[in-house]
Amino acid sequence: MPGTGWDSVNQVTDLFSAAAEQRLKSQSPLAARLRPRSLDDVVGQEHLVGPGRPLRRLVEQDRLTSAIFWGPPGTGKTTLALAVSGTTKRVFEQLSAVNAGVKDVREVIERARQRLGEHGRGTILFLDEIHRFSKAQQDALLPAVEDGTLTLIGATTENPYFEVNPPLRSRSTLFRLEPLDEAAIQTLIQRGLAAEGATASAAAIDHLASLASGDGRQVLTALEVACALCHPGRVVELEHVE
């Protein structure tokens, strides 16, 4: 049949791509591997994503407008953004202010404008560490946010009243994330152990939780190291986390 050869080539290419993606995922840090794709899997931040809470309702109805996620490191800002990406019907684009510039922003805006005009489909841009953008860089986002070309989700560890331009901030809803409580940290530890195929003593778990200081990423990083140290027994003891 015509095209059979090309179909075979495409199938092989898809298999290689899938294998490469799976290999990359398996080599990712534990915290990255455990990031949820839905609000139900988000640990902590019940005041934002609990049943009936405003952020949850906006995300589930796919009516989230531009927003700033503000909170300490490891509290789930990127996690929340990815949960939005797994729920929305809009196209989700992601940039980090650490290595992106105005050119990257303009390219996203142009794609968003074309997408909206040709297909009637909206765009959400997640900009991590938005506070690292200068005033001029933040200003480049303003027209697209203002006219609805895209919806911005900015994440920051810094006070947005000082680090985000007032015109951009005034067009965004501010959601404050709190340090994770002990119950949330314990849940993360159990999920991490399951992902690593390991178990841990109660003393090791309690010590890990005490080191977290509300930072989920920090506790998962420490757990990942501990799991590597306890190989091949796969039982994390207190000595592995001290």
9 vs 189, which has greater pLDDT?
Answer: 189
On the question of pLDDT at 26 being above 80, the answer is no
Find the distance separating the first CA and the last CA of the chain, reported in whole Å. Answer: 64
Token representation of residue 183: 């119950």
> What is the C-alpha separation between 172 and 69, in angstroms, rounded?
10
104-122 mean pLDDT: 96
- 154 and 86 part of one domain: yes
Confidence of residue 19 (pLDDT cuts 50, 70, 90): very low
CATH number of the domain where residue 152 is located = 3.40.50.300
Sign, CA torsion 39/67/175/73 = positive
Looking at residue 71, its pLDDT comes to 96
**Domain stop point among 149, 176, 203:** 176
Predicted confidence at residue 18, as pLDDT, reads 46
Per-residue confidence band for 13, with pLDDT thresholds at 50, 70 and 90: low
Q: Are 156 and 122 in contact (CB under 8 A)?
A: no
- Tell me the one-letter amino acid at 237: E
| Structural domain for 209, as ranges | 182-241
Each residue's pLDDT tens digit, 161-208:
999 999 999 999 999 999 999 999 999 999 999 999 999 999 999 999
Asked if the model's pLDDT at residue 24 lies above 80, the reply is no
Percent of the chain having pLDDT more than 70?
A: 89
| Single-letter residue type at 91 | V
Quick one: 147 and 65 in the same domain?
yes
Query: What does the alpha-carbon distance between residue 186 and residue 71 come to, in Å, rounded to a whole number?
Result: 20
Name the helix (H) or strand (E) containing 163. Answer: helix 160-163
Task: Count how many domains the chain has.
Answer: 2
CB 203 within 8 A of CB 239: no
> Are 143 and 234 in a shared domain?
no
Q: What is the pLDDT of residue 5?
A: 59
DSSP string, 72-110: STTSSHHHHHHHHHTT-SSEEEEEETTT--HHHHHHHHH
What does the pLDDT look like over 51-79, one tens digit per residue? 999 999 999 999 999 999 999 999 999 99
